Amino acid sequence: LAWQLAGLAVGTLEVWWGLSLLGHHVSFGDALAIEALTLAARQMVFFIPAGLGVQEAVLVLLGTGLGVAPPTSLALALLKRARELAFGVPALLSWQWAEWRSLRKASATLGRLVSRAPSGPPSQRACASHAPMASSSNPEPCSRDPASS
């Protein structure tokens, strides 16, 4: 709950500061209303990836209702998307890098295991595993198929 409240407060500051940078000053309460209702709308349409279009439409509608010009509201929406990209892209790239390192490490381990495995035709590998069963009277201990025994 504390993290959600902190996220809402930071998002409200983002809206307030963003609109100030765009030349339209709003109260902290208006910024809170814009952020809270934008988050609520994005939660209601969770099935739309990243709320594409929803965030923009809600910001333009709420901004217009609070006296913010539609181009300014749309610029705020794009500012919020830019922040999502600024944090999201490096996170995805670092995740892919970690997965690549993990895969490379697993591949190297598998390569070492394969290089230690017995080589030769399958019948010779089976003979090596059944060598204790061979008797001295049988000159060809693995003449029969080991799978049939």
135: pLDDT strictly greater than 70: no
| Residue 143, pLDDT score | 54
95-120 pLDDT per residue, tens: 999 999 998 888 878 777 777 766 66
Q: Percent of the chain scored above 90 by pLDDT?
A: 59
pTM (2 decimals)? Answer: 0.63
Q: How far apart are CA 135 and CA 137, in angstroms?
A: 5
Which alpha helices (H) appear in the chain, and where do they start and end?
A: 2-21, 28-44, 54-65, 70-116, 122-129
124: pLDDT strictly greater than 70: no
pLDDT bucket at 61, cuts 50 / 70 / 90 = very high
138: pLDDT strictly greater than 90: no
| Residue 109, pLDDT score | 80
CA angle 68/70/76 to nearest 5° reads 75
Mean pLDDT score across all residues of the chain: 83
- The arithmetic mean of pLDDT across residues 76-98, rounded, is 93
